[in-house]
Structure 1
Amino acid sequence: MHVEATGTATFRVDATGQMVSVSASDLDWACQGDGERNMGPELVHTAEFDIVGYTVTWSIWEYPEGAENHSDTDVPKGITLVTDINYGLVHDPD
């Protein structure tokens, strides 16, 4: 499995009103184990991006292995997500 992400995320800096855009192609995704559960390992795929001093984190949980379980875009206080990228897990070709 790997992350497929498309589009552009747009954020507004609350203090200034500045709009900042992040292209999905600018994100570097990493995968790590998040512990062992009843049906095997739980994996989390994450990408982080700094927006004027604020770190936004995109996460996708894979559990059981091979199935997308949950996704979340963590936006810290101080910036507002206006539009998000489209992202999800896709199966690797055999």
Structure 2
Amino acid sequence: MVSSSNDQPLYEVLNSTLRSVKPEISDQLKLWFLYLKLFIDALTHLPSYREIVYRSVTNDLSDYYELSEKFVWWSFSSCTKSLTTLQSTKFLGNTE
């Protein structure tokens, strides 16, 4: 599909591709279409529900977003519905 070194995780290669193609669709992104179709099709078989989820970022971005707005996050990333999990040192990468 997309050539990459064996030690680079799939989500990193996909995220790099998703972030690099705006606004037009590049040939590089077209290589991912079958995989994304399979992934999205699998998601449609999961039960649907509304929930607030949290995503760890390095800066305070709260001034840029309103609670009532909907957002599209153009990447695959770890999220949680628990603030306790988000504040965990393991989640943040500090395993000291």
Normalization by structure 1: what TM-score?
0.19
- Higher percent of residues as strand: 1
Q: Identify, as 1 or 2, the structure richer in helix.
A: 2
Q: TM-score, normalised by structure 2?
A: 0.19
